[in-house]
Amino acid sequence: MATLLIDKDACTGCESCVPACPFGALTMKEGIAVVDEKCTFCGACVDVCPVTAITLEKEEKAVTIDITAYKDVWIFIEHEFGKVGSVSFELLGEGRKLADAIGCKLCGMLFGDKENVEKFAKEAIAYGAEKVYVMESPLLKEYRTDPYAKAAIDLIRKYKPEIVLFGATTQGRDFAGTVATTIEAGLTADCTGLDIDPETKYLKQTRPAFGGNIMATILDYPNYRPQMSTVRPKVFAMPQRDDSRKGEIIQEALQMTEDQVRTKIIEFIKGAETVNLADAEIIVSGGRGVGGPEGFKPVRELAEVLGAAVGSSRAAVDSGWIPYEHQVGQTGRTVRPKIYIACGISGSIQHQAGMKTSDIIVAINKDAEAPIFKIATYGIVGDLFTVVPMLKDEFKKRLGR
Ligand SMILES: Cc1cc2nc3c(=O)[nH]c(=O)nc-3n(C[C@H](O)[C@H](O)[C@H](O)COP(=O)(O)OP(=O)(O)OC[C@H]3O[C@@H](n4cnc5c(N)ncnc54)[C@H](O)[C@@H]3O)c2cc1C
């Protein structure tokens, strides 16, 4: 908690503080600065006041936890419809690097009914978890906020992990927020990069900020633990599965009954078929270079022959040529296919942020200087309306489709 104090006697009415406030929280009233509820206590006005009439009083919350008691990196192993979300395995891969950098263990946190837990704990170990903390109960068969949050909060309070990572999926976003607010831990959502500070061993969490215009690296407040992040699927590579790995499974019981759960699952209704860019092995994407909605025709035809998904740049989406679900990039989907074919896409930083980790990038662009060629495995300088149909015909012939 903080309070912004304005000393009316000291204030000279110079107004320097008014434009200095990024939130427009300061105005002048009868020649004296006054602050309103928009104040975020950032202190910008304090720094510019020439007569030190503004002060910020911060009430430091007493440190109630011993952060040295917090150990290990935990990954939430999420599952749906009998399958572990691939993001959980990707996080185990990245978690391994973090745990090695800190010098601690990599663990899974898994909830489900008996059948789920037995199957998925072994998978988590095969993907690198040294320990898996599990709770098994019919209440935990499918994800529901109340029992999952109760399970996680109890485990975190008892075993004190230093870092907990969740997929930035529908499940992970709901779950991580509930857990973080209850245990008063920080949570950085939608991270695109994680690292360990070599000196402090704190988690460095990178994510786009201010509408994606900058990449911010965030450290949690040092007196709170665990450090928690959600990470989008496909940001990190899938680690090698090794079924010969051995790990420890730690069972705990859920202290909750069905009547304490505020939601019931009545039925799952499959939504409309959506574009599955995240799981596509091949993506053929079109950008502003396709020139209009009809320009996506050759892109779609090539995608069909290759059994690929159709992606796009934001320029094509913003022009209304293709729906947002197809957008690849910082404010669209992050993808990591085996082959990404960019047709008429210049390769802006924001587009690259969503596809540069593709195994093979093929760029087709009539401008030999386009930035996409800097990251392309194969570059074809030419008109996409000539090149793409030629590729389609050739692949059709060779693949016999
Ligand atoms: C905060 C923020 C977030 C953003 N998020 C995203 C995002 O998620 N995804 C994204 O894509 N962008 C994003 N952008 C926009 C990004 O900056 C670019 O404007 C956008 O990626 C450009 O799309 P483009 O490459 O299709 O268009 P352009 O940059 O206009 O490039 C078109 C390319 O097509 C080529 N071309 C034209 N005609 C032909 C032809 N007949 N044959 C072959 N080549 C041809 C041109 O040479 C050119 O290189 C974001 C921007 C901001 C500020």
Domain boundaries, the chain: 2-58, 67-259, 282-399
Sign of CA dihedral 393, 395, 399, 401: negative
Report how far ligand 1's centroid is from the alpha carbon of 341 (Å). Answer: 14
* CA end-to-end distance (rounded Å), the chain: 66
How high is the pLDDT of residue 213?
Answer: 75
How high is the pLDDT of residue 271?
Answer: 66
Report how far ligand 1's centroid is from the alpha carbon of 216 (Å). Answer: 23
How high is the pLDDT of residue 20?
Answer: 93
Which protein residue's CA is at the shortest distance from atom 51 of ligand 1? 350
> Is 313 a pocket residue for ligand 1 (Cβ < 6 Å)?
yes
Q: How many C-alpha atoms does 337 have within 13 Å on its Cβ side?
A: 25
Q: Of all atoms in ligand 1, which is nearest to the CA of residue 208? A: 1
SS3 state at 283 = strand
> Is 367 a pocket residue for ligand 1 (Cβ < 6 Å)?
yes
How high is the pLDDT of residue 399?
Answer: 87
How high is the pLDDT of residue 15?
Answer: 95
How high is the pLDDT of residue 72?
Answer: 97
How high is the pLDDT of residue 295?
Answer: 97
Contact (CB, 8 A) for 351 and 370: no
Q: What is d(CA 379, CA 105) in angstroms, rounded to the nearest whole number?
A: 43
Q: 67-259 and 282-399: same fold?
A: yes
Q: Out of 283, 326, 346, give the residue to mutate to test ligand 1, the one with the largest number of ligand atoms within 8 Å of its CB.
A: 346
How high is the pLDDT of residue 255?
Answer: 95
Report how far ligand 1's centroid is from the alpha carbon of 207 (Å). Answer: 21
Q: pLDDT under 50 in the chain at which residues?
A: none
Domain spanning 2-58, CATH class: alpha beta
Q: What is the CATH number of domain 67-259?
A: 3.40.50.620
Q: What is d(CA 23, CA 311) in angstroms, rounded to the nearest whole number?
A: 38
The pTM is what? 0.72
How high is the pLDDT of residue 211?
Answer: 66
In tens, the pLDDT along 66-94 reads: 889 999 999 999 999 999 999 999 999 99
Pick the CATH number of 282-399 from 3.40.50.1820, 3.30.470.10, 3.40.50.1220, 3.90.1300.10: 3.40.50.1220
